Amino acid sequence: AQSVAQPEDQVNVAEGNPLTVKCTYSVSGNPYLFWYVQYPNRGLQFLLKYITGDNLVKGSYGFEAEFNKSQTSFHLKKPSALVSDSALYFCAVRDRRTSGTYKYIFGTGTRLKVLA
Amino acid sequence: EAQVTQNPRYLITVTGKKLTVTCSQNMNHEYMSWYRQDPGLGLRQIYYSMNVEVTDKGDVPEGYKVSRKEKRNFPLILESPSPNQTSLYFCASSAAPGWDQPQHFGDGTRLSIL
C-alpha cells in the first residue's frame, strides 16, 4: 500500500541554523511528491514538488527538498532557519489508482519550532 | 483573488442533525477534494472529484457524502453526524492531477459534533 511517513513529530532548531524535516514514502511506480506548510488557523500552502528531473528541488520561502530514490526519501531543507518558519509541515504523495483516478496521501505532519 | 472558500468556518451541532459544509473555488480547477485533519493522524482524504459528476472515495469516506454538479462547487454532506466526525475539515482544488499541479486549500471548517 502507498504510504508516507514523517518520523519526527517535532523538530527544534536555532534561528540561523540549517533545518531538515524528514519524509519517506512507499509507492509503486514513479513518485509524485509534495511539501506543504500550515500556519495556525490557516489551510495548507504549497511549498514545492518533485515530479521528475533534478533530485534537488527548490521551492517557496527559501526551502528546498532532496529526492533520494534509493532511500525512498524526500527531506525538506533550508540552509538558515527563521523564527517565522515555525509551522506544521506535511509531506504528501500522489497515488494513481487502478480506476485511473488520483488520490493523495499525507504524512502525519512535523511541527517545526525555530528558536530565537 | 484565487481562492477556495469554505463555509461555515466553525460549527457546533448535535448528533444526527444533517449538515452541509460548502466549498467553492474560483480558479476553474478540475480536481477537488475533502480532507479531515486530526491530531497525530495528519490529513486524510475523504472524497475527491476528478471533474464534474466524477467522484471517488478517499481513505475515510464512511459517514460522508459529496456531489459535484458544477465545476466550482463541491459540498460535503454529513447525513447523520456522530461525535467521531468532530474534526478540522479542509477543501482543496487543483488544475488537474495529471498535470501535477499542487492543491490550493481553503482555511478549514472546524466541526464539533456533541
- How many Cβ atoms from other residues are within 10 Å of residue A39's Cβ? 12
Alpha carbon distance A105, B12 (integer Å) = 28
Give the closest of B42, B50, B97 to A106, CB-based. B42
If you average pLDDT over residues A78-104, what whole number do you get? 91
Residue of A nearest to B46 (CA): A103
Q: Which residue has the cell 475523504?
A: B46
| Residues B18-43 pLDDT 10s | 999 999 999 999 999 999 999 999 99
Q: Are A62 and A78 a contacting pair, CB within 8 Å?
A: yes
Report CA-CA distances (Å) from A27 to A66, A72, A73, B45, B47.
17, 9, 11, 17, 20
Q: Quick one: pLDDT band at residue B97, thresholds 50, 70, 90? A: low
Chain CA centroid to CA A2, Å: 16
CA distance B105 to chain A (A): 5
| Residues B40-93 pLDDT 10s | 999 999 999 999 988 999 999 999 999 999 999 999 999 999 999 999 999 999
The answer to whether B108 contacts A41, with C-beta atoms less than 8 Å apart, is yes
Task: Identify from B105, B107, B109, B110 which residue to disrupt to test chain A contact, counting A C-beta atoms within 10 A and taking the largest count.
Answer: B105
Residue of B nearest to A108 (CA): B42
Residue A77 neighbours by CB under 8 Å, 6+ apart:
A18, A19, A20, A21, A63, A64, A65, A66
Asked if pLDDT for residue A17 goes beyond 90, the answer is: yes
Q: Are A92 and A34 a contacting pair, CB within 8 Å?
A: yes
Tell me the count of A-B CB pairs closer than 8 A: 68
Task: Identify from A35, A44, A89 which residue to disrupt to test chain B contact, counting B C-beta atoms within 10 A and taking the largest count.
Answer: A44
% of chain A surpassing 90 pLDDT: 79
CA distance A73 to chain B (A): 18
The answer to whether A103 contacts B58, with C-beta atoms less than 8 Å apart, is yes
Q: Which residue has the cell 488544475?
A: B95
Q: Quick one: pLDDT band at residue A61, thresholds 50, 70, 90? A: very high
CA distance A23 to chain B (A): 13
